[in-house]
Amino acid sequence: MILVIIAVASVGSFQVWNRPIWESATSVYSTTSFPTTISSSTLQTSISSTSIYYPPTQWISIRKLQTLGYYESLLVRNGTQPYQLLGEQLRQLPDITNASAVAQVAYLALNATNPEVKEAFTLMMQGGTSNPNDFQYPIPSYNTELEVLYWLACQNQFKRDDTLALAIAMDNGIWVTMGDKEVIASVRNDTINLLTFLRETNQLQEQEGYYPLESYPLEAKIVLGWTGGESPDAAKSHALSLFLGKQLDLKSYHWDFTSVDTYRNMQAFMMNPNSSIPLLSKSALWTLHDLNVYFQYNGPHWVYTLHGGPSQTVVVDGESMSNWEYGSTNYCFSRFLSTGIVYGVSYDHLPFIDSLLKSVGIASTHVYLTSAHTPSNQSLNDFNIVYVPETRVWVGDPSVIMNGASEGTKWVPGAVNESHLVLFKPPVDQAEYLTGMAQDRIKEDHCPDVDFCDMIYPEYSNAYTSILGTSYEKGIPFNTMKADVTGGMPTLSFKIDGYGRDWVNFTAIMSKGPTNSVPGKDLEALYAVADASYLYVMIKLYGPPDPSNKYIFPLDLTGTGKWDYSIGFSNNSVWMYNLQGIPNNQWPDSRLSTPDAIYAVGAVAEIAIPLQDIGNPTKITIADLWLNSPNVTVDDFGTSASVSFIIGPTTTNSGGIPTLQMKQWLLYSGPTSRVY
């Protein structure tokens, strides 16, 4: 319920990509055939000083193709959710004929190593079917988000744990729900092209030493996959909330949906090596800041057209309209390319900046700031926020956040007069997503006229969620944002994949020099942190971990030196002992079940232990780490160390909106009041 602001220094010069995308972008997958076995293809990685290791990409391949019914039954017979529902809803799709595509979907679901895959399928099963009572015309009775995923699988080879494909499908089902036949055909092509574009962008990020978007958490990918801007609310006569009584037509869809062609042109603009003002930095926040400076209101490239600005009537695609709140980033950017200037207000500026950022793989959405202590919740400001992968937080540009609508309405973090923050949400959960806006339009005398009908402040809408906060001073941390984008399911702050990429900004709590002559059996360092849901541990060795290794560490949860639990894991099993009431160095006869622990051994050994499995402690000390191989201790650190909480019970994070909180807001939180 917070927004954190990071202090920004003066604008400096930054390294930019040195060529347009199409000079080096190549397809990283085949759309014409499937390999005959599970394969790994290593993308070129020219990583700079960050020394981040990116594992080989594992592509889902079909060894022996079975019938459609085989894969559907495989999911249904699983007997657990969301897989049973997935199998049942696949059977309901109207155009399902491609067994290879269904096989990919089934493999993606049943063989996931990233828990966000299961989470995405759960959200899709819950939110991919709209309520027919919301519309005055027949809508599909099947899951339209699942249909988009099926289309993607028909034309693309999926990766293992392909949350990018899942996110694009979750974002774009609503167009299929509301669109006519022409729209549905266009959505199929557009989403396929969007996945191709984002995969190419990911490859360029890897080659140039940027954090690749494929490493982002689920909610950041969902933000990336939404290309509709503010079209649910503000898009002239093409606003989605005007189409509850009639089907969405192709012209309105093309008006609302930012095309891949626009993204490619934006990317070329952002990466132009001949630009006198570099706009792309390896820092997502600096890139946002530089865009805000370049397109500042009433600057050389953006003319603010309301509240005394040059408001006038323009003709776009044969339509006469005011020169603000267009709701079409395609139009705004084409005008910029032709004239060097954009006319509009914040409803135009926010999605315009979002799209420029997304064109280079930066996840961006926007927040509205309102006063909580005025009769009408007076609007003070609105601004973009970006995901910063290095620190796994969501932050806004403080030079924008701290400037309110006027000198008297500037927001001061920590002030007694707290402000409401309202976050825009993509339509992952379609039920009643637009009904609040439509009801509010009916109440307005001027609705559904073009100019003001697109400027609605809904009393009840699932497209927005309230976040309240002045507690954080430097952003909203990763876990906070994540929980509110997806809705509250406990998710991981660290990707447990055996590669340790998420630990680059953390310091080891135990370390030592090499003491064992056997590579892979010599401990180097232990890293550990906890958040509100998990204890995370990463173990580095000198040399690749030996397959016979077992990693064992006792936990002191009271600070008394007394062991309370012991955790152990290997490359294929995990176990735990309850040591409460038992002297140190003694062990009970039976182990505890740990079905929710997540572990992986690759270049490093990693494990995430749910805090609820160890009594939800507020303090944690790791008493030591023993390396057994196979059943004899061959190395240890011989010391103990306390574990810090990055968010949750004992400390607060002042570095941004945590991803879990952002996830909760974006994907799981309910509707909000946005009456200004």
The four Cα atoms 514, 515, 521, 523 give a dihedral, to 10 degrees, of: -60
Domain positions in the chain: 501-645
Contact 237, 256 (CB under 8 A): no
Residue ranges of E strands in 108-216: none
Q: How confident is the model at residue 131 (pLDDT cuts 50, 70, 90)?
A: confident
pLDDT at 543 over 70: yes
Instruction: Quickly tell me which residue has 């390319």 as its tokens.
Output: 337
DSSP 310: -
Q: How confident is the model at residue 447 (pLDDT cuts 50, 70, 90)?
A: very low
Contact 275, 10 (CB under 8 A): no
Percentage of the chain beyond pLDDT 70 is: 73
Q: What fold is seen in the domain 501-645? A: Immunoglobulin-like (2.60.40)
As a whole number, mean pLDDT of residues 498-516 equals 84
Choose among 643, 485, 631, 426: nearest CA to 555. Answer: 643
**CB within 8 Å of 512: residues ≥ 6 apart:** 523, 524, 525, 637
- What pLDDT, in 10s, does the model give residues 26-46? 222 222 222 222 222 222 222
- Which of 340-349, 451-460, 465-474, 579-588 shows the lowest mean pLDDT across its residues? 451-460
Q: How far apart are CA 519 and CA 468, in angstroms?
A: 51
Chain centre distance of CA 635: 39
Q: How far apart are CA 38 and CA 44, in angstroms?
A: 20
Angle at 499 between CA 594 and CA 497, to 5 degrees: 35
Contact 235, 256 (CB under 8 A): yes
Residue 446, pLDDT score: 37
Q: How far apart are CA 203 and CA 159, in angstroms?
A: 14
Q: Who wins on pLDDT, 145 or 308?
A: 145
Which amino acid is located at 112 in the chain? A
As a whole number, mean pLDDT of residues 453-481 equals 48
Q: How far apart are CA 481 and CA 484, in angstroms?
A: 5
Is the pTM higher than 0.85? no
Q: Who wins on pLDDT, 529 or 649?
A: 529
- What pLDDT, in 10s, does the model give residues 272-320? 877 766 778 778 888 998 899 899 888 899 988 875 567 678 888 888 8
3-state secondary structure of 76: helix
Find the helix packing angle between 99-110 and 83-92, rounded to 10°.
160
- What pLDDT, in 10s, does the model give residues 215-270? 999 999 999 999 998 888 888 888 888 898 899 999 999 999 999 999 999 999 99
Phi and psi at residue 336, to the nearest 5°: -60, -40
Q: How far apart are CA 306 and CA 322, in angstroms?
A: 10
pLDDT at 180 over 50: yes
Q: Who wins on pLDDT, 472 or 98?
A: 98
HSE, side-chain direction, 13 A CA sphere, residue 374:
13
Polymer length in residues for the chain: 676
Q: How far apart are CA 658 and CA 575, in angstroms?
A: 30
Residue 247, pLDDT score: 95
Q: How far apart are CA 210 and CA 17, in angstroms?
A: 10
Q: Who wins on pLDDT, 574 or 165?
A: 165
Q: How confident is the model at residue 371 (pLDDT cuts 50, 70, 90)?
A: low
- Which of 272-276, 505-509, 527-531, 575-579 shows the lowest mean pLDDT across its residues? 272-276
Residue 349, pLDDT score: 92
Q: How far apart are CA 486 and CA 167, in angstroms?
A: 11
Contact 160, 58 (CB under 8 A): yes
- Which of 37-41, 336-340, 522-526, 634-638 shows the lowest mean pLDDT across its residues? 37-41
Which amino acid is located at 282 in the chain? K
As a whole number, mean pLDDT of residues 652-676 equals 54
pLDDT at 484 over 60: no
303: its two tokens: 């003319």
Residue 567, pLDDT score: 94
The four Cα atoms 517, 521, 527, 532 give a dihedral, to 10 degrees, of: -170
Instruction: Quickly tell me which residue has 């000390």 as its tokens.
Output: 621
Residue 282, pLDDT score: 76
Q: How far apart are CA 625 and CA 619, in angstroms?
A: 18
Q: How far apart are CA 206 and CA 212, in angstroms?
A: 6
Residue 668, pLDDT score: 67
- Where is 519: in which H helix or E strand? none
DSSP 649: T
Q: For strands 379-388 and 364-371, give the pairing.
A: antiparallel
Chain centre distance of CA 309: 36
- Which of 26-35, 415-424, 504-513, 583-592 shows the lowest mean pLDDT across its residues? 26-35
Q: How far apart are CA 490 and CA 610, in angstroms?
A: 9
Q: How confident is the model at residue 672 (pLDDT cuts 50, 70, 90)?
A: very low
Contact 504, 52 (CB under 8 A): yes
Average pLDDT of the chain? Answer: 77
pLDDT at 48 over 50: no
Residue 227, judged by CB atoms within 10 A of its CB (0-12, 13-18, 19+), counts as: buried
Which amino acid is located at 323 in the chain? N
Chain centre distance of CA 372: 28
Peptide bond into 138 cis (omega under 30): no
Q: How confident is the model at residue 472 (pLDDT cuts 50, 70, 90)?
A: very low
Which amino acid is located at 41 in the chain? S
Q: How confident is the model at residue 535 (pLDDT cuts 50, 70, 90)?
A: very high
Residue 1, pLDDT score: 21
Alpha carbon separation from 37 to 99, 183, 505 (Å, rounded): 16, 36, 36
Q: How far apart are CA 511 and CA 505, in angstroms?
A: 16
- Where is 316: in which H helix or E strand? strand 313-316
Which amino acid is located at 517 in the chain? S
Phi and psi at residue 620, to the nearest 5°: -140, 130
Residue 33, pLDDT score: 28
Residue 581, pLDDT score: 85
Choose among 425, 441, 424, 436: nearest CA to 460. Answer: 436
DSSP 295: T
Residue 208, pLDDT score: 82
Residue 192, pLDDT score: 97
Sequence-ordered alpha helix ranges (H) in 360-467: 398-401, 435-443, 450-453
Q: How confident is the model at residue 458 (pLDDT cuts 50, 70, 90)?
A: very low
- Which of 141-145, 370-374, 623-627 shows the lowest mean pLDDT across its residues? 370-374
Strand partners, 556: 621
- Which of 305-319, 576-590, 633-647 shows the lowest mean pLDDT across its residues? 305-319
pLDDT at 321 over 90: no
Residue 392 φ/ψ region, left for φ over 0, alpha for ψ in the -120 to 50 degree band, beta for the rest = left
Chain centre distance of CA 605: 25
- What pLDDT, in 10s, does the model give residues 551-576? 999 999 998 999 999 999 998 888 99
- What pLDDT, in 10s, does the model give residues 76-119? 998 888 999 999 999 999 989 999 999 999 999 999 988 899 99
As a whole number, mean pLDDT of residues 50-67 equals 73
Buried b (16+ CB within 10 A) or exposed e, 2-11: bbbbbebeee
Q: Who wins on pLDDT, 610 or 194?
A: 194
Percentage of the chain beyond pLDDT 90 is: 41
Contact 485, 219 (CB under 8 A): yes
- What pLDDT, in 10s, does the model give residues 386-397? 998 877 778 888
Contact 129, 79 (CB under 8 A): no
Residue 659, pLDDT score: 65
- Where is 151: in which H helix or E strand? helix 144-155
Residue ranges of E strands in 602-653: 605-610, 620-622, 626-628, 633-636, 641-645
